[in-house]
Amino acid sequence: MASNLVLKLFRPPLFAQLASLRAGVKAVSVSRRCSSGSPPEKVSRFPIPNKKDLPFDMLELMEDVEEKGGFLPNVFRALSHRPGEFRAFFSYYNELMNKETGGLTKADRELIVVATSIHNKCLYCVVSHSALHRIYSKNPTLADQVVVNYKNAALTPREVAMLDFAMAVCRSDTVTERHFESLEEVGFDREDAWDIAAIAAFFAMSNRLAHLTDMRPNVEFYNMGRMPRDKSKKKAGDAS
């Protein structure tokens, strides 16, 4: 019963998120399957359990994510070292990143992760969430600009205020009423401020776990969302 509850908590949103990336990784996945003699991909400095040793709910989730997304992000494999923390991590992740309420879009949420993760020098989160931002925003260059310096990126005033607040939380600055006022001036409310802060705080923890494990991003993430999909081919495929 407990494992069924965990699946209900985080399984559907994760599938939706990974399915949205599938088209962007097909070519890379085929290339990797066809290559030979490549060194094994580094995932974590901690042991990765064999699939046969994983609890059923985790194994089912990971297999379905891999099937629907085209690959299994290394964070699933690295965190499977601690099953209880794996479940808690992805449950909270979905509460923060996949909710449909509030004033933040999915692209906004990913941009917060990119900006705060570059401050925390987290390769895994910068690369993987830049890919997700490109997918959700359909903007192939903005995340790269934010990685270099969000102050010089082509952001709207709303996005600048959002990232200013996220960075204040990320740096553990003293949060004052002026921070909230700056958000309200561009249309965010107090609940949105909580979401921005919670994402920055959660990924500060995630960044540090990535440092601990020496987690590396899957190669599939690097090219996701950089080239627009060929709509004419899609229509031709739909018609056939």
pTM: 0.81
One-letter amino acid for residue 84 of the chain: G
Domain positions in the chain are 2-98, 106-213
CA proximity to 147, closest of 107, 113, 171, 178: 113
pLDDT in tens, 132-190: 999 999 999 999 999 999 999 999 999 999 999 999 999 999 999 999 999 999 999 99
Place of tokens 């359909």: 138
Q: What is the share, in percent, of the chain residues with pLDDT greater than 90?
A: 71
Residues (pLDDT < 70) of the chain are 1-40, 228-240
Q: Which CATH superfamily is domain 2-98 in?
A: AhpD-like (1.20.5.810)
pLDDT for 134 equals: 97
Q: How many CA atoms lie within 13 A of 40 on its CB side?
A: 3
Q: How many CA atoms lie within 13 A of 227 on its CB side?
A: 9
Q: Which two tokens stand for residue 205?
A: 């923890």
pLDDT for 227 equals: 81
Looking at CATH, the fold of the domain delimited by 106-213 is given as AhpD-like (1.20.1290)
pLDDT for 18 equals: 54
CA proximity to 120, closest of 112, 198, 152, 192: 112
| Contact (CB, 8 A) for 110 and 136 | yes
**Cα–Cα distance between 161 and 180 in angstroms, integer?**
10
